[in-house]
Structure 1
Amino acid sequence: MIIGRKTKKRTGLFTTMCLVVMICSIIVYQKDKLNKRREAYQEQDQALQEQIDTETERAEEIEERRAYVQTKKYIEDVARDKLGLVYEDEIIFDPGN
């Protein structure tokens, strides 16, 4: 009878230890899985932040260009380059001839 009780205690202890080891293994596996997901999200966050910075710079350049387009200097440059217009008293030297 005493031998049977020791065997039951050992079996119960062994079963408990197996369950603890299994639970610890599951926790470690899930932790690793979450760490990989976190790293992926961090990379995505970094890429999106770079994209935000790029678009912010682009928006600033567009704003500067918009301000330049509304100046008299821009209108004169377009008239000279695309339309070939000049002022009445302006002398143009053609280096090609």
Structure 2
Amino acid sequence: MGIIMARRVAYRKKNQNRFGMFLVTTVIVMMLVVVAINSIELKQKLAMYKAKEQMLTEQIAEEEKRTEEIAEYEKYTQTKKYVEEVAKDKLGLVHEGEIIFKNEE
């Protein structure tokens, strides 16, 4: 009977080892699946952030251009030519000796 018992114990240990290996393999596969899914999600977020970065870079360039235009306009508004144009257009002022012709409507 000792030999039969030894065989049963060896058979049980062999089955337990197989079951343990199956559990370990299952856990590793599940972890790989989770890592793969997270990797895909991170790649999608990265693409989204790159697109957002490109859009913001374009907005910055547009705002810098607008800032330059405003600075140029500010310089222009401080010139004598600008003051004369505003005086003529809005106030109807003229230089001495100028003649104004108006259409009859």
The answer, yes or no, to whether TM exceeds 0.5 is yes
How many residues matched?
A: 97
1:24 aligns with 32
Report Cα offsets for 1:33-61 as digits up to 9, x if no partner: 21222222222212221221121111011
For residues 43-58 of structure 1, the aligned pairs below 5 Å read 43-58=51-66
AA aligned to 1:43 is A
- The Cα RMSD (Å) is 1.6
AA aligned to 1:21 is V
Aligned sequence identity (%): 40
For residues 1-97 of structure 1, the aligned pairs below 5 Å read 1=7, 2-96=10-104
Tell me the TM-score normalized by structure 2. Answer: 0.81
Name the SS for the 1:26 alignment partner: helix
Structure 1 residues not aligned, in runs of 5+: none
AA aligned to 1:90 is E
Tell me the TM-score normalized by structure 1. Answer: 0.86
Q: Distance in 1 between matches of 2:77 and 2:96?
A: 24
